[in-house]
Amino acid sequence: MIDLSTDYLGLKLKNPLVPSASPLSRNLDTALRLEDAGAAALVMYSLFEEELQAEDAMLDRFLLHADLGHGEADSFLPNHGEFHGGLERYLSHLHQLKRRLEIPVVASLNGVSPSGWVELGRALEQAGADALELNVYHIAADSRHSCEAVEARYIELLTELRGVVSLPIAMKLSPFFSSLPHFVQQLEHAGAQGVALFNRFYQPDIDLDNLIVVDQLHLSYPDEALLRIRWLSILHGRTQLTLAATGGVHSESEALKLLLVGADVVHLASCLLQYGPDKLTEILAAMQNWMEEKEYQSVAQMKGSMSQKNLADPAAMARASYLRVLDSFSVRPGVWS
Ligand SMILES: Cc1cc2nc3c(=O)[nH]c(=O)nc-3n(C[C@H](O)[C@H](O)[C@H](O)COP(=O)(O)O)c2cc1C
C-alpha cells in the first residue's frame, strides 16, 4: 500500500491533492463531494479586501470586540440579523464547512493594502480555519514604486496578519519577482509557513468590434504547470517553507511532476471546474498506478527527488537549458521552414 500522505503548513494530509480557492468551495454539497472524491484539504474562495473595506461598520465592530474568546464560533458572529455582509457570510460558511468536513479547511484572504483589513484573519481563526492563505493580488503598475516597495507590501501584510493569528500562513505569490528565492526567504523570516506558486493574473482583452476593454477569465492549460515545475524545483531544499503548486494541473502527469520537483501539495481549480469532483478521484488513482509501476513506496520518497539540487545536471532548470534548447531546435511538423 503506497503511503500518499504529505505535510503542508504543519498539517498532516492524507494525500497531496487539494482543491484551491475557487467558487467550488461556495457550495457545501460540492465541498462534501470533493471530500468524498478524495480531496485532502480544501482552500476556500477568497474574502476580498474590497468586500471588507466596504463594511466599515463590521470592521469597527470586529476590531472593537477583537478580544473575544476562542469558544464557539457562533459567539463572534454578529447578532444583528439585519446585516448580511461578505464577512459574516464568509465566517458562517467557514463555520459550516468546518462542522461538516473532516478534512482541513484553509481560509483565503485577498487584497493589497496594508491598512488593517488583514486583522480580520483573527475572525477566520476563531471560526475554525486550519490555516490561512494570503493572496496579494497586486499589479505593480505604478512607476514610482520600486521592486523593494512591492516586496515590502507583501511583507507588511504578512507581518500584520502574523501579529494577530497563530495559524499557519501560506502566501500565494505571482511569478513576477526579480529574485524569487530571496523573496521567499524574506517571507520565511516574516513568519510564513508556506508559499503557493503561482497566482494566475486574469488578463484584460480588447474587443476589436466595440473598441472596449473586456474582462475575461480563461481556465488554465496543462502547459502552465511548467512555470511551476521550474520554480518549485529551484526552491525545494532552499527554504523551510512548505510548497504548494497551483496552476495547470489537469492530470496525474502534472501532479506527479510537481511532486517530483518538490511540491508538498498540488492544488486544483480549473480541471475541477471543468470536470467536477470525480476528476480528483481519477487523478489520484492514476498517480497511484504510476507510483506502483515505478516502485515508489510513498509520496515522501518521491517529493523533491527531481528538484534542482538533486539533479545530476542542475543547469537543466536554469539558463544553460535555454541555450541548449535553442541550439537543438530543429524543424519539426507544425514549424514553417
Ligand atoms: C473561477 C476561478 C475563481 C478563482 N477564485 C480565486 C479566489 O477567490 N482566490 C484565489 O486566491 N484564487 C482564486 N482562483 C485561482 C485558483 O485558486 C488557482 O490558483 C488558479 O486557477 C490556478 O490553478 P488551476 O490551473 O488549477 O486553475 C480562482 C480561479 C478560478 C478559475
Q: What is the CATH number of the domain that holds 206?
A: 3.20.20.70
**Domain annotation covers residue 293:** yes
Domain presence at residue 1: no
Cβ 24 under 6 angstroms from ligand 1 = no
Q: Is 172 in the pocket of ligand 1 (CB under 6 A)?
A: yes
Q: What is the pLDDT of residue 305?
A: 97
Whether 270 lines ligand 1, by a CB cut-off of 6 Å, is yes
Q: Ligand 1: distance of its center to the CA of 46 in Å?
A: 9
The reported pLDDT for the residue numbered 70 is 37
The residue among 228, 230, 264, 263 whose CA lies nearest residue 247 is: 228
DSSP, collapsed to helix, strand or coil, labels residue 43 as: strand
Q: One digit per residue, pLDDT tens: the chain, 337 residues?
A: 899 999 999 999 999 999 999 999 999 999 999 999 999 999 999 998 877 766 655 555 555 554 444 343 333 334 444 335 788 899 999 999 999 999 999 999 998 888 778 888 999 999 999 999 999 988 888 889 899 999 999 999 999 999 999 999 999 999 999 999 999 999 999 999 999 999 988 888 999 999 999 988 899 999 999 999 999 999 999 999 999 999 999 999 999 999 999 999 999 999 999 999 999 999 999 999 999 999 999 999 999 999 999 988 877 777 767 777 777 777 787 888 7
- Closest-CA residue, ligand 1 atom 20, reads 247
Residue having the nearest C-alpha atom to atom 12 of ligand 1: 21
Domain contains 193: yes
Give CA angle at 159 (68, 46), nearest 5°: 70
**Ligand 1 within 6 A of CB of 46:** yes
Residue 105 included in any domain:
yes
Asked if the structure places residue 327 within a domain, the reply is no
Pocket perturbation via mutation, ligand 1, pick of 217, 252, 270, 275 by most ligand atoms within 8 A of CB: 270
Residue 33 domain boundaries: 6-312
- Report yes or no on 253 lying in a domain: yes
How many separate domains does the chain show? 1
Q: How many residues are listed for the chain in this entry?
A: 337
pLDDT at 319: 72
**CA angle (242 as vertex; 270, 179 as ends), nearest 5:** 85
Q: Is residue 25 one of the residues assigned to a domain?
A: yes
Ligand 1 pocket member 168 (CB < 6 A): no
Beta bridge partners of 213: 206
d(CA 53, CA 87): 10
- Is 321 part of a structural domain of the chain? no
